[in-house]
Amino acid sequence: MADLVNNGQKRSAWSSKFGFLMAAVGSAVGLGNIWRFPYIAGQYGGAIFLIIYIIVVAVLGFSMLTLELVIGRNRNANVLDAFEMGKKKKITPIGWLCIFTPFLIVSYYNVIGGWIVKYLVGYIGGGGFVNDTGDYSAVFGNFISDPVWSSVFTVIFIALCAVVLIFGVQKGIEKVSKVLMPALFFILVFVAIVSLTMDGALEGLKYLFVPNFESMEEYGILNILNAAMGQAFFSLSVGMGIAVTYGSYLKKDQNIPKSAAIICGFDTLVAVFAGLAIIPAVFSAGIAPTEGTGLVFVALPAVFKTLGGFGIVIAVLFFVLILFAAWTSAISLLEVLIAAVEEKTKLGRKGSTALVVGVVFVTSIIVSLSQGDVIPTDLLTLFDNITNKILLPVTGILMCIFLAAKIGMQNAKDELLLNCKSRKWADVWGFLIKFVTPILIAFIFVMGILSWAGVAI
């Protein structure tokens, strides 16, 4: 159902405010919240990190998210057209960055999505695949380096995304998000309650919420700030045109600041609940919280094992939860690409979905194979570093400049304030976008490059 028009071309629109919010929350809430946040929060000082993170989300995350939604609704177009700059010659470098970044991210995100499907299927089958040997690290390592099975599960995850995307914005993304997001939240609260009632859970709570001044000394406040900013970008899916694309389907009656505040608030709430669900359980099983994939695929199976038969039930619920999170995020990454192909070619929704999914299928399989011996370089880590340390910050800064130079601050404020009762914050927002946000992002960029190059700060 097309409700918007741009240059005579009909465009899709969200059918309801709730539908848009659930789709946008679905994009934001992903692997970043569930495995990245709990570990990073504990490592970088617990409560200290949490306070800094909340301030960073409120300042940097909120201003970037509103900026992208404003650009999207104002330009009413896919990223390539939205960021067009020349008058006669249509050049769109930011548009291409917003194609390239989600493309790289989704190519590895799908692979992790495949691992989740594998673990979910395995636990539905009774969990024997991990419990039989008890060596969770070896089970995981063997699986991801198996070229056939890891590829098969990656393909299943891509197919799950394609099935939703082919139905378009309203009947696909919106419909599915409206069911998956509330379900995710209920499961998360339940798993958190179970985790908090386990023996020894208090240690985990301390790790997460008691200020850890040692880590402040160890890492330094600048590194903690940098970690919080990187996490906010990653978690809110900003700096790659997702919110521009989702914002382009917004009708003029939606209040952008309120929506962005809800998305930021919900994303942070889910991250904190994920911390409550995972860290106390891991501590209770006497395991040190490890990073990223190790936490979900190695530490948690050991926790599930300690719970016996009930552990299988919790494992199934947990992998359903993380599957929902990853699925709606991958959908949003793919939607940026599909929207651009659909509006720049004559392929239509189905043809564009098929083309994008086909290309991403090939790159995802290549990334999957790079986890074993078939391809020697770990492309998953490489793509993750290139996108998070270079592409997201660079695109973020360019978006701020684009807004000020091409859309104009006054137009942007008018777009921002449509349907807002209170107008008093618009000047603060303009100041943030023009001065504070680009400087903060430049800081993430420099720190990221230095840490990648191995320079200690």
Q: Which residues bind ligand PFF (CB under 6 A)?
A: 28, 30-33, 105, 234-235, 237, 329, 387-388
For the chain, how many helices (H) and strands (E)?
26, 2
Nearer to ligand PFF, 107 or 131 (CB): 107
Q: How many CB atoms lie within 10 A of CB 189?
A: 12
Q: Is residue 397 within 8 Å of residue 238, measured between CB atoms?
A: no
d(CA 327, CA 319): 12
Q: What angle do CA 265, 268, 270 make, to 5 degrees?
A: 110
Nearer to ligand PFF, 4 or 274 (CB): 274
Q: How far is the CB of 396 from ligand PFF (least distance, A)?
A: 12
Nearer to ligand PFF, 68 or 415 (CB): 68
Q: How far is the CB of 333 from ligand PFF (least distance, A)?
A: 7
Residue 11's DSSP bridge partners are 4
Nearer to ligand PFF, 31 or 444 (CB): 31
Residue 12's DSSP bridge partners are 2
Residue 9's DSSP bridge partners are 6
Q: How far is the CB of 329 from ligand PFF (least distance, A)?
A: 4
Q: In Å, how far are 168, 187, 216, 288, 450 from 330, measured between CA atoms?
A: 15, 20, 34, 29, 29
Torsion of CA 130, 132, 133, 135, to 10 degrees: 30
Residues 6+ apart with CB under 8 A from 39: 289, 290, 291, 292, 295
Q: How far is the CB of 116 from ligand PFF (least distance, A)?
A: 12
Q: How far is the CB of 103 from ligand PFF (least distance, A)?
A: 12
Q: How far is the CB of 223 from ligand PFF (least distance, A)?
A: 20
The two tokens of residue 347 are 């392929």
Q: How far is the CB of 228 from ligand PFF (least distance, A)?
A: 14
33, 32, 61: which is closest to 396 by C-alpha? 61
Residues 6+ apart with CB under 8 A from 96: 80
Nearer to ligand PFF, 139 or 392 (CB): 392
Q: Is residue 110 within 8 Å of residue 330, measured between CB atoms?
A: yes
Nearer to ligand PFF, 30 or 42 (CB): 30
Q: Dump the DSSP string for 36-52.
A: IHHHHHHHTTTHHHHHH
Q: Is residue 300 within 8 Å of residue 62, measured between CB atoms?
A: no
Nearer to ligand PFF, 223 or 329 (CB): 329
**Could you tell me the sign of the dihedral formed by the alpha carbons of 394, 95, 76, 244, in that order?**
negative
Nearer to ligand PFF, 107 or 284 (CB): 107
Nearer to ligand PFF, 15 or 387 (CB): 387
**Could you tell me the sign of the dihedral formed by the alpha carbons of 188, 289, 31, 301, in that order?**
negative
Backbone angles phi, psi at 5, to 5 degrees: -135, 135
Residue 6's DSSP bridge partners are 9
Nearer to ligand PFF, 398 or 417 (CB): 398
Query: With DSSP H G I counted as helix, E B as strand and the rest as coil, what are the percentages for the chain, rounded to 5?
Result: 80, 0, 20
d(CA 33, CA 322): 10
Nearer to ligand PFF, 173 or 194 (CB): 173
